[in-house]
Amino acid sequence: MTQTFSSTGRDTFVGTPRSRIDGPAKVTGLAKYAGEFAAPGLAYGTVVSSSIAKGRIAAIDSSAAEAVPGVLKVITHENRPRTAWRDKNFQDAVAPPGSPFRALYDDLIVYSGQPVALVVAEDFETARYAASLVRISYERQEPVTDLKAVRGDAYDPPMKREGIKPPPAPWGDADQAFGSAPIRVQGGYSMANEHHNPMEPHATTVVVEEDGTYTVYDKIQGVSNSHQYLVNVFGLKPDQVRVLNPYLGGGFGSGLRPQYQAFLAMLAAQELKRSVRVTLTRDQMWSFTYRGEALQTIALGAGPDGRLAALRHDAVQGTSTFEDYQEVIVNWSGVLYRCDNVALTYRVAKLDTATPGDMRAPGAVTGVFAIETAMDELAYATGLDPIELRLRNYAESDATAQGKPFGSKELKSCFTQGAERFGWAKRDPEPRSMRDGRELVGWGVATGIWESMMMQSSAIATLTPDGRLTVGNSTGDIGTGTYTILTQIAADTLGLPMDAVTTKLGDTRLPEAPVAGGSWTAASSGTAVMKACRNVGEQVFKLARAMENSPLANVDVDRAVFADGRISVAGDPGRSVSLVEVLQAARIDKVEAVEQAGPDKDFNQKYEAYTHSAIFAEVKVDEELGQVRVTRVVSAIAAGKVLNPKTARSQILGGVVMGIGSALEEESMLDHRIGRFMNHNLGEYHVPVNADIYDIDVIFVDEEDKANPLGVKGLGEIGIVGAAAAITNAVFHATGKRVRDLPITIDKLL
């Protein structure tokens, strides 16, 4: 527990494996999620969903529902209380350009499953029953949900989504270079529509306090976003609403934007002047956001030596009729590989669905699947080992950013260490050459990449005379381990044991931080917490120096060492004082600081920042019956400093598991005749179960990065990126069949 105050180099807790500090709460059932907070007189809301995808509501008859004893109110577009009407008030902090969905706004139906009524009752069962009695007749129009059918109508979104880089202008002449390349690979690639399906369904509990203010427990990946949304939509003063969400039962992007259940719960609470909870059903988890399928084409031209002469990557993705959702699908190809002739395009097409949204490594999962599958095809076309091909085309700078160098890029180490651990050298490259009994064995590899980002974030640190430190901000721990790493950082910064530190998150009374997403939370909130703790340390140091007969008299702050709950003098450990003594001597009840942290502009001007991975997969395929098992995965990650190897490893495991789902199982099936996802439940939308998951080995390669003082680059997304391609490539190696449309279900291998 030693920390030289002026340096971040000596860590006691940071960098060591630590069990989650929220573990005891989660294993005893005491951790409360948004739909679990109680309130006196709590009423329950059940949402009625549209059964058609496009048209209008001709009539709603809620009389039978209202007649059920215990029903308090049936709210529809016809009787909804007035709220803000301008759509810009509904625009949340991460909304894409367009006109956000407004529940119960009017009679128009713009997607299947859209909420059309809220039934509020004294208890859950009554609300659920009464909701089944609401009769709605519709004027139905033909929906358009087939992306292939509207591919020709795709357009370059006129308004760009904030934080999403549009494809760079082309360089060289990709088409001409492709035409004259000696070796060419060309193909179309697609992934299915996927739904996030966190285990906790979306829920909001609005508690009406005695003073008329609202305490809102909302399932959200960052409470500040819900707060802003509710304040704007309902025309409230910021201090009239407090939003909390101490625990989130999985987000994966589904909780980035405030969803309609938050709006409806607040609407009902205001109208009824009592506390209301609205929890969505599992089926309704198919009624707001999803990872939209993309139709992609890739053309790679290369010389016999495998060096890329042409790279073309085009993608068309669906969006809703009312917002232009955008993500980065094609740019990764230009970042990963050095090539003189590159063309990257991304367009969107309107569909009668909800607006797609960010889902774990949005865009990268989709685009990297395509380019990394195509690169495997090129490896076979050139006769090169897939790793060798990637190394021959290894980008040392970011061509999509005018050739800026990378702040750090240890991808080569990922390949080396991953290949070693996996035993790649023993691979016979010939498809169908490896067997284990009846099963064909395939080994595949792919690269993963994700942007390393930091967002403006603030944090508070408070030291009290009992020697306890409390830190926190409004971001959420979405299962990533944020509580734990912030505790580690805070404890190290002030030389305290971890159990002397309390970390609070997910409360708008805490300093503002962005939503937890994009793998930016460790860098952003971690740095803010570290700075706030340093500020506290400096204040305490000053107080210590001012003490009567201070052992630190005339010592400069950069010689102060914070360790074991004491401040001592570097090189003279006999001179020391405990933090508790300092605060008691000063007769103050706390030392507190709020600090801001944000991206390092100088660094960002000079460098581009990405995390990378090399992911290796082994599959065993029963050729006759088409059954695929992913029996072994090695994921080697370069993501800067690892704050907590235990929780970090879990992040990667989770990404790989979801990647296996993408590759083999996950597909939300749209019946285009009615514009409706039909397998809207966990029995028929298959996510991996325990039996699907065999050995997963995670390697963190050393990587030094200076984008932020912690040296972290983020881990939430990188684990999933490339997983589907590694599996696709392994399936090809096993069977000789190249599947370019995910998921690889049994029928595609027969």
> At its nearest, how many Å lie between other proteins and the CB of residue 172?
41
Sole binder of other proteins in the list 480, 635, 728, 729 (CB under 8 A): 480
Rounded Cα distance between 630 and 706, Å, is 36
Q: Which DSSP symbol is given to 120?
A: E
Residue position matching structure tokens 């016999």: 304
Stretch that binds other proteins, among 154-162, 290-298, 414-422, 624-632 (CB under 8 A): 624-632
Sole binder of other proteins in the list 191, 455, 687, 726 (CB under 8 A): 687
Distances (CA, A) of 149 to 112, 143, 297, 740: 19, 12, 16, 19
> At its nearest, how many Å lie between other proteins and the CB of residue 147?
16
List, as one string, the DSSP characters of 432-455.
T-EEETTEEEEEEEEEEEEE----
Stretch that binds other proteins, among 72-80, 377-385, 397-405, 693-701 (CB under 8 A): 693-701
Query: For this structure, is 717 an active site residue?
Result: yes
Query: Which residues lie below 8 Å from residue 479, measured CB to CB, with a gap of 6+?
Result: 248, 249, 250, 251, 654
Rounded Cα distance between 120 and 123, Å, is 8
Range 31-90, binding other proteins (CB under 8 A): 31-33, 35-36, 38, 44, 51-52, 69
The alpha carbon torsion through 373, 375, 379, 382 (nearest 10 deg) reads 130
Sign of the CA dihedral running 717, 168, 146, 187: negative
Backbone torsions φ then ψ of 367, nearest 5 degrees: -70, -40
Does position 487 interact with other proteins (CB under 8 A)? The reply is no
The token pair that represents 638 in the structure block: 């370069």
The interface mask with other proteins, positions 526-555, x = CB under 8 A, is ------------------------------
The nearer residue to other proteins, 47 or 52, going by C-beta atoms, is: 52
Does position 684 interact with other proteins (CB under 8 A)? The reply is yes
> At its nearest, how many Å lie between other proteins and the CB of residue 188?
20
Count of helices and strands (H, E) across the chain: 17, 31
The nearer residue to other proteins, 566 or 676, going by C-beta atoms, is: 676
Does position 696 interact with other proteins (CB under 8 A)? The reply is yes
Does position 517 interact with other proteins (CB under 8 A)? The reply is no
Stretch that binds other proteins, among 142-150, 290-298, 497-505, 684-692 (CB under 8 A): 684-692
Sole binder of other proteins in the list 349, 361, 453, 478 (CB under 8 A): 478
The nearer residue to other proteins, 143 or 654, going by C-beta atoms, is: 654
Burial class of residue 69 (count of CB atoms within 10 Å of its CB; 0-12, 13-18, 19+): exposed
**Number of residues lying near other proteins (CB under 8 A):** 95
> At its nearest, how many Å lie between other proteins and the CB of residue 647?
6
The interface mask with other proteins, positions 638-677, x = CB under 8 A, is --------xx-xxx-xxxxxx-----xx---x-x-xx-x-
> At its nearest, how many Å lie between other proteins and the CB of residue 746?
6
The nearer residue to other proteins, 49 or 382, going by C-beta atoms, is: 49
> At its nearest, how many Å lie between other proteins and the CB of residue 70?
10
Query: Which residues lie below 8 Å from residue 98, measured CB to CB, with a gap of 6+?
Result: 159, 320, 322, 323, 324, 355
Interior CA angle at 313 toward 307 and 314, to 5°? 165
> At its nearest, how many Å lie between other proteins and the CB of residue 384?
32
Range 181-210, binding other proteins (CB under 8 A): 197-201
Residue 318, helix vs strand vs coil: strand
Q: Which of 410, 451, 703, 717 is catalytic?
A: 717
> At its nearest, how many Å lie between other proteins and the CB of residue 176?
41
The nearer residue to other proteins, 249 or 356, going by C-beta atoms, is: 249
Range 96-135, binding other proteins (CB under 8 A): 112, 123-125, 128-129, 132
Rounded Cα distance between 506 and 515, Å, is 10
Rounded Cα distance between 397 and 399, Å, is 6
- For residue 189, the surrounding DSSP H or E stretch is strand 183-190
The interface mask with other proteins, positions 129-158, x = CB under 8 A, is x--x--------------------------
- For residue 580, the surrounding DSSP H or E stretch is helix 579-586
The nearer residue to other proteins, 402 or 690, going by C-beta atoms, is: 690
Query: Which residues lie below 8 Å from residue 162, measured CB to CB, with a gap of 6+?
Result: none
Range 307-346, binding other proteins (CB under 8 A): none
The nearer residue to other proteins, 134 or 712, going by C-beta atoms, is: 134
Range 592-621, binding other proteins (CB under 8 A): 620
Q: Which DSSP symbol is given to 75?
A: E
The nearer residue to other proteins, 3 or 62, going by C-beta atoms, is: 62
The token pair that represents 529 in the structure block: 């917490």
- For residue 579, the surrounding DSSP H or E stretch is helix 579-586
Burial class of residue 281 (count of CB atoms within 10 Å of its CB; 0-12, 13-18, 19+): middle
Stretch that binds other proteins, among 341-349, 363-371, 525-533, 687-695 (CB under 8 A): 687-695
> At its nearest, how many Å lie between other proteins and the CB of residue 406?
28
Range 241-260, binding other proteins (CB under 8 A): 247-252
Does position 281 interact with other proteins (CB under 8 A)? The reply is yes
Closest by alpha carbon to 317, among 357, 284, 280? 357
- Bridge-partner residues for 323, per DSSP? 98
Range 412-431, binding other proteins (CB under 8 A): none
With beta carbons less than 8 A apart as the criterion, state whether 367 and 328 touch: yes
Sole binder of other proteins in the list 67, 149, 546, 746 (CB under 8 A): 746
The nearer residue to other proteins, 249 or 444, going by C-beta atoms, is: 249
- Interstrand relation of 241-244 and 276-279 (parallel, antiparallel or unpaired): unpaired
Range 12-31, binding other proteins (CB under 8 A): 19-20, 22-31
Sole binder of other proteins in the list 139, 156, 388, 695 (CB under 8 A): 695
Sole binder of other proteins in the list 215, 270, 321, 745 (CB under 8 A): 745
| Cα atoms in the Cβ-side hemisphere of radius 13 Å centred on 190 | 15
Does position 680 interact with other proteins (CB under 8 A)? The reply is yes
The nearer residue to other proteins, 159 or 669, going by C-beta atoms, is: 669
Residue 298, helix vs strand vs coil: strand
> At its nearest, how many Å lie between other proteins and the CB of residue 570?
36
Sole binder of other proteins in the list 279, 508, 525, 708 (CB under 8 A): 279
Stretch that binds other proteins, among 445-453, 454-462, 599-607, 679-687 (CB under 8 A): 679-687
| Cα atoms in the Cβ-side hemisphere of radius 13 Å centred on 390 | 26
Give me the sheet containing 591-597, strands edge to edge. 501-505, 469-473, 457-463, 591-597
> At its nearest, how many Å lie between other proteins and the CB of residue 749?
10
Bond before 688 cis per omega within 30 degrees: no
Angle between helices 645-664 and 364-382 (to 10 degrees): 70
Q: Kindly list the catalytic residues.
A: 717
